[in-house]
Amino acid sequence: MITIKLNVTKFEKDRFHRGKKGIYADLALVDHPNDYGDDGFVVQTVTKEQYDAGERGPIVGNWRETNKKPAPKPEPAQTKAPLPEDDDIPF
């Protein structure tokens, strides 16, 4: 499951569009992990022409995958075997 937190005050209303069943905002999830445990951020999309012209939509929130499998645990480091007490080292 992916959970999303949006700050609706950052939405640009001029990018909303009317459909048959309501008013819509087109959004995109961008993979970009942060220090708060989020897997990425959410942006309000722009048209292809606007994107090609270098325009970007506002970042309106963050997303997190909540049911991802834990990372595999690293193999334990190999330790050196202790020397036997009756070794032949002269010191």
pTM listed for this prediction: 0.69
First vs last Cα of the chain: how many Å apart?
A: 63
How far apart (Å, rounded) are the C-alpha atoms in residues 47 and 30?
16
How many CB atoms sit inside 10 A of residue 44's CB?
20
Query: What's the sign of the alpha-carbon dihedral 50, 56, 60, 64?
Result: positive
Q: Among residues 61, 11, 9, 8, which one has the least CA distance to residue 39?
A: 61
More confident residue, 21 or 91: 21
| Averaged pLDDT for residues 12-36 | 95
Helix, strand or coil for residue 50? helix
pLDDT digits (tens, 9 = 90+) for 41-53: 999 999 999 999 9
